[in-house]
């Protein structure tokens, strides 16, 4: 039995599971592939061997304001 931590990525508002029982390498690959779609990576450790990763698909206000400001500068 492996002692490696496992991670489950969950979409915050719907609680949809996006990736389940993944290694850190799989989480990093998922994040690299979807970093423009999901925001607000937050870790919640359920126990010593499992971590729930909460993400949202809604742009945080501060990032939305920055994006809007960049558009105004162009």
Taking only the tens place, the pLDDT of each residue in 23-42 is 999 999 999 999 889 988 88
User: What are the boundaries of each domain within the chain?
Assistant: 6-73
Residues 58, 34: Cα–Cα separation, whole Å: 13
Q: What is the pTM of this model?
A: 0.73
Taking only the tens place, the pLDDT of each residue in 3-24 is 789 999 999 999 999 999 999 9
What is the reported pLDDT for 4? 84
Local structure of 17: helix, strand or coil: strand
CA-CA-CA-CA torsion sign (48, 18, 31, 14): negative
């Amino acid at each position: 039995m492996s002692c490696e931590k496992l991670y489950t990525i969950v979409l915050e508002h719907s609680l949809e599971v996006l990736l389940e029982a993944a290694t850190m390498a799989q989480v990093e690959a998922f994040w690299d592939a979807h970093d423009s779609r999901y925001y607000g990576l937050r870790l919640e450790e359920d126990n010593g061997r499992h971590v729930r990763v909460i993400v949202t698909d809604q742009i945080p206000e501060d990032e939305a304001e920055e994006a809007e400001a960049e558009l105004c500068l162009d």
